[in-house]
Amino acid sequence: MYRFLCFLAILSLFSGLEAGCPPYFSRVGPKCYHVSLEKVNWFVADRRCRAMNATLMVFENETDREHTTDLLIKRDVPFNNDWRDAVWIGGNTLGLPREFVLSNDGGALPFTPWLPGEPNSKDEECIDYFRRAEKFGYNDAPCLSLFPFVCQTKALSKV
Ligand SMILES: *[C@@H]1O[C@H](CO)[C@@H](O)[C@H](O)[C@H]1NC(C)=O
Ligand SMILES: *[C@@H]1O[C@H](CO)[C@@H](O)[C@H](O)[C@H]1NC(C)=O
């Protein structure tokens, strides 16, 4: 059994697959993430994720946020303490005044780690994530800003 598991582990390394994740996705806890450093507006990012049978990333809780942020840093997402170095999040107002929801289905966001003072502008209807003064968090941004994006999907297996 152990040998067999080793064999599977090595096989998945060679095929670039991480347990329970589609190709080019990385496993973090029960989720799989795909990082794209291409800078696109929120709508294009949303479509790119859907085309991969995934949705734009949202954090479930603080642990998910921390572990996923480690992955993003490893994948060279530039978090240079600047609002221009952000990634898109799967939340926006869907055209409703100042009520941020899951863009996927309009449901409530599971966790909203807003940066201090955010959200703050009525012209900013999409959510991004960046580092400001050593603190990472959500921010409201104009949806036509150009940022890298991260797609997520549920892992299919437990391990
Ligand atoms: C899309 O993902 C869901 C789970 O998130 C899975 O059940 C389904 O088979 C996937 N479809 C394709 C075409 O990959
Ligand atoms: C945090 O979210 C992850 C999903 O990414 C889940 O596996 C974990 O159980 C959650 N932790 C708590 C304390 O809810």
Mean pLDDT value across residues 135-144: 97
Q: Please indicate whether residue 36, judged by its CB atom, sits closer than 6 Å to ligand 1.
A: no
Ligand 1 atom at minimal distance to the Cα of residue 153: 5
CB of 154 closer than 6 A to ligand 1? yes
More confident residue, 95 or 88: 88
pTM of the model: 0.86
pLDDT of amino acid 14: 47
* Distance set, CA 101 to CA 71, 115, 147 (Å): 25, 17, 20
CA of 18 to the centre of ligand 1 (A): 16
Mean local confidence (pLDDT), 10-33? 80
CA pair distance 49, 149, nearest whole angstrom: 9
Question: Cα–Cα distance between 126 and 57 in angstroms, integer?
Answer: 13
Res 10: pLDDT: 47
**pLDDT digits 0-9 by tens, 67-78:** 999 999 999 999
Range in 7-16, 22-31, 84-93 the model is least confident about: 7-16
Give the distance (Å) from ligand 2 centre to CA of residue 3: 31
Q: What is the dihedral of CA 44, 67, 129, 148, to 10 degrees?
A: -30
152 Cβ closer than 6 Å to some ligand 1 atom:
no
Q: Report pLDDT digits (tens) over 113-130.
A: 999 999 999 899 999 999
pLDDT exceeds cutoff 90 at 45: yes
Q: Could you give the domains of the chain?
A: 26-154 (3.10.100.10)
